[in-house]
Amino acid sequence: MNSNYNICVIDDDDIYQFTIIKMLKSIDLDKEISLFSDGEEALEFLIDNLYNNEELPDIIFLDINMPIMDGFQFMEEYVKIKPKLNKKIIIYMVSSSVDPVDIERAKSISDISDYIIKPIKPGQLKEIMANL
């Protein structure tokens, strides 16, 4: 399995951030992990690195409910900058929300690969990374 992926976690839950980092490291997928507590911070990072493929993530794990800019607001802005990106970024929405409205909304956004209900399991993470 290729472990040369830049991974971005956008989630305001410190425990989730800690847990997903531990899981990624346990399966040797910790080349570069960027953590952001809200969508605005992550969006600024993407904009600052628009043409720097080495810094841009290969995959984003995005929460819905966050302060400042939530996951859906992030996606609205991401769609605007996506044409400027020279790199394909795979986005998974990872949330504790089981609300069918959230799930359908996420699935209706073509740039979101899938909706995963927290907690993400090591097997799911391995499968996601193996499919990159």
Q: The domain containing residue 26 runs over which residues?
A: 6-130
Q: What is the pLDDT of residue 1?
A: 47
Q: Does the structure show a pLDDT above 90 at 9?
A: yes
Higher pLDDT, 130 or 103: 103
Position 45 in a domain: yes
**What is the average pLDDT across 72-84?**
96
Position 1 in a domain: no
Q: What is the pTM of this model?
A: 0.93
Q: How confident is the model at residue 26 (pLDDT cuts 50, 70, 90)?
A: confident
Domain count, the chain: 1
Q: What CATH number is given to the structural domain containing 38?
A: 3.40.50.2300
Residues of the chain with pLDDT > 90, as a percent, come to 73
Report DSSP letters for 8-63, one per residue: EEE-S-HHHHHHHHHHHHHTT--SEEEEESSHHHHHHHHHHTTT-TTTS-SEEEE-
